[in-house]
């Protein structure tokens, strides 16, 4: 008898964004004339940078020539991209990395979900609340969460990030083994300073814990005291894995490319307490279960770092951050309480008193034809909030605020 992985039965029925898509599909069917503006799912609307497109066109031409075509990509990435990443994203900030510490992939979502393959299911996991759903759901799938009682999973330590603590979660009161941190944060759009992040690194060192640091939105940082990489913090290479993505930085949501840093000095332990480096374990996992990111895509990613690419990408990021300003200032004028939206493309919006996240979602959809993301979908502490994103067009962003003003 074939048996399923019963941990999948423990998941909520639908992934958050699938549930939003389902509601939106139903609304469109009932109101075919409606012009929907999405401030919900964080998909991009700006085209790929011309430098990226040019590089990808050139790579396609190479694939059409027997003398220059490429077959299987190296599982961990081509050296031309890895060397470029190290030089621009890390050396430029005083961080030294070896080429075999960088693993090119199809994006941060995949890697943050797959990293659990090399880690014991007995680890106690800490997540912020609210949290990007992938962190929690993939741990449920893996079997780290046995029981769901009183709104919480066993073996998961929830770290509230709420207005009362300025969205800076407290260090775990009890020892944990894995810590997921995403900064700039999805969904709240808030950040940690270098001194605040150092407290987490020091905690991990003291408790032999591992920080899984999602830096997918680092390109949106403007404040000097907000770290772009956890490796700006002394000692972090001993306790942290960092995930990066080109999805929002360069509009690669439909192209798929990112990378993960696993320092060679980073170690974890077996049941007997013997230390093992994680770098070769992740290398083994990727070599076995991942076929590498396409050559054409990696050439496109390399072009992000060219002088033209940097300028064009900066223009796109500035475009989205202008949308953030429009949304945040518009909501402030409407007397909404907002957070984030300074070093991140997300605005965390408090719903009117007595209105739940999903009720406000429905209100915006029905009265304004605007889609947001219910905060409760990111965890219990997200109840009473919604997330809005800046990845729409400027015209739609302005129109969305006008619609909310009229209603």
Which secondary structure element, helix H or strand E, spans residue 403, and what is its range?
helix 394-406
> Is the domain of 360 the same as that of 288?
no
Q: Are 391 and 248 in contact (CB under 8 A)?
A: yes
CATH assignment of the domain containing 201? 3.40.640.10
- Per-residue model confidence as pLDDT tens digits over 381-396: 999 999 999 999 999 9
Model confidence band, residue 16 (pLDDT cutoffs 50, 70, 90): confident
Angle at 331 between CA 167 and CA 216, to 5 degrees: 45
On the question of a cis peptide bond just before residue 184, with omega within 30 degrees of 0, the verdict is yes
Q: Which tokens sit at 298?
A: 């990696």
> Is the domain of 123 the same as that of 250?
yes
Q: Percent of the chain, pLDDT > 90?
A: 92
Tell me how far apart the alpha carbons of residues 351 and 369 are, in angstroms, rounded to a whole number: 17
Angle between helices 394-406 and 357-368 (to 10 degrees): 100
> Bridge-partner residues for 373, per DSSP?
387
The answer to whether residue 183 sits within a structural domain is yes
Q: Which domain holds residue 351?
A: 7-47+308-406
pTM, two decimal places: 0.96
Model confidence band, residue 13 (pLDDT cutoffs 50, 70, 90): low
Please give the pLDDT value at position 152.
87
Model confidence band, residue 42 (pLDDT cutoffs 50, 70, 90): confident
> Is the domain of 342 the same as that of 318?
yes
The answer to whether residue 127 sits within a structural domain is yes
Q: Which tokens sit at 30?
A: 């009932």
End residue of a domain, out of 303, 327, 345: 303
> Is the domain of 243 the same as that of 371?
no
Tell me how far apart the alpha carbons of residues 82 and 50 are, in angstroms, rounded to a whole number: 21
Q: Percent of the chain, pLDDT > 70?
A: 100
> Is the domain of 237 the same as that of 349?
no
- Per-residue model confidence as pLDDT tens digits over 89-130: 999 999 999 999 999 999 999 999 999 999 999 999 999 999
Q: Which tokens sit at 234?
A: 């002394």
- Per-residue model confidence as pLDDT tens digits over 181-220: 999 999 999 999 999 999 999 999 999 999 999 999 999 9
> Is the domain of 89 the same as that of 112?
yes
The answer to whether residue 129 sits within a structural domain is yes
> Is the domain of 64 the same as that of 183?
yes
Mean pLDDT of the chain: 96
> Is the domain of 290 the same as that of 239?
yes
- Per-residue model confidence as pLDDT tens digits over 321-377: 999 999 999 999 999 999 999 999 999 999 999 999 999 999 999 999 999 999 999
Model confidence band, residue 265 (pLDDT cutoffs 50, 70, 90): very high
Say how many domains are in the chain: 2
Q: Is 374 helix (H, G, I), strand (E, B) or coil?
A: strand
The DSSP secondary-structure symbol of 308 reads: H
If phi over 0 gives left and psi between -120 and 50 gives alpha, with beta otherwise, what is residue 119?
Answer: beta
End residue of a domain, out of 251, 285, 303: 303
Q: Is the pLDDT of residue 12 over 80?
A: no
Model confidence band, residue 11 (pLDDT cutoffs 50, 70, 90): confident
Strand 373-374 relative to strand 240-245, pairing: unpaired
The answer to whether residue 363 sits within a structural domain is yes
> Is the domain of 23 the same as that of 117?
no
> Is the domain of 256 the same as that of 313?
no
> Is the domain of 19 the same as that of 67?
no
Q: Is 41 helix (H, G, I), strand (E, B) or coil?
A: coil
End residue of a domain, out of 279, 303, 327: 303
The answer to whether residue 2 sits within a structural domain is no
Q: Are 309 and 88 in contact (CB under 8 A)?
A: no
The answer to whether residue 1 sits within a structural domain is no
The DSSP secondary-structure symbol of 90 reads: I
Q: Provide the sign of the torsion angle of the four alpha carbons 50, 389, 337, 342, taken in this order.
A: negative
Give the position of tokens 């992000």: 304
Q: What is the 3-state secondary structure (H, E, C) of 49-75?
A: CHHHHHHHHHHHHHHCCCCCCCCCCCC
Burial of 264 (0-12, 13-18, 19+ CB in 10 A): middle
- Per-residue model confidence as pLDDT tens digits over 218-237: 999 999 999 999 999 999 99
Tell me how far apart the alpha carbons of residues 252 and 342 are, in angstroms, rounded to a whole number: 22
> Is the domain of 220 the same as that of 336?
no
- Per-residue model confidence as pLDDT tens digits over 293-307: 999 999 999 999 999
Give the position of tokens 């069917």: 29
């Amino acid at each position: 008898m074939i048996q399923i992985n019963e941990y999948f039965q423990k998941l909520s029925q639908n992934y958050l964004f699938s549930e939003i898509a389902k509601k939106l599909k139903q609304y469109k069917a009932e109101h075919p004339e409606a012009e929907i503006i999405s401030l919900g799912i964080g998909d991009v609307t700006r085209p790929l940078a011309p430098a990226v497109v040019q590089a990808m066109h050139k790579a396609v031409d190479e694939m059409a020539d027997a003398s220059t075509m490429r077959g299987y990509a190296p599982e961990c990435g081509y050296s031309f991209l890895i060397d470029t990443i190290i030089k621009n994203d890390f050396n430029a900030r005083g961080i030294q990395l070896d080429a075999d510490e960088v693993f090119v992939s199809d994006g941060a979502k995949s890697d943050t979900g797959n990293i659990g393959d090399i880690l014991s299911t007995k680890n106690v996991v800490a997540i912020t609340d609210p949290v990007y759903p992938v962190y929690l759901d993939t741990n449920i799938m893996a079997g780290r969460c046995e029981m769901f009682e009183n709104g919480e999973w066993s073996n998961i330590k929830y770290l509230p990030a709420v207005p009362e603590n300025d969205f800076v979660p407290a260090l775990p009161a009890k020892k944990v083994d894995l810590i997921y941190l995403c900064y700039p944060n999805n969904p709240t759009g808030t950040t940690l300073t270098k001194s605040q992040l150092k407290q987490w690194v020091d905690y991990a060192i003291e408790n032999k814990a591992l920080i899984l640091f999602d830096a997918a939105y680092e390109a949106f940082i403007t404040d000097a005291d907000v770290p772009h990489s956890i490796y700006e913090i002394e000692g972090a290479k001993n306790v942290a894995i960092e995930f990066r993505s080109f999805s929002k930085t360069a509009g690669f949501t439909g192209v798929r490319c990112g990378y993960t840093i696993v320092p060679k000095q980073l170690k974890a332990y077996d049941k007997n307490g013997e230390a093992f480096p994680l770098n070769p374990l992740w290398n083994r996992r990727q070599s076995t279960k991942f076929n590498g990111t396409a050559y054409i895509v990696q050439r496109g990613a390399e072009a992000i770092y060219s002088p033209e690419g940097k300028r064009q990408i900066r223009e796109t990021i500035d475009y989205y951050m202008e949308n953030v300003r429009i949304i945040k200032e518009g909501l402030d004028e409407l007397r909404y309480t907002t957070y984030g939206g300074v070093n991140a493309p997300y605005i965390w919006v408090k719903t009117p008193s007595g209105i739940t996240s999903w009720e406000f979602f429905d209100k915006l959809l029905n009265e304004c034809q605007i889609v947001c993301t219910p905060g409760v979908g990111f965890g219990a502490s997200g109840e009473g909030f919604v997330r809005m994103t800046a990845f729409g067009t400027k015209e739609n962003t302005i129109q969305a605020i006008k619609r909310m003003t009229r209603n």
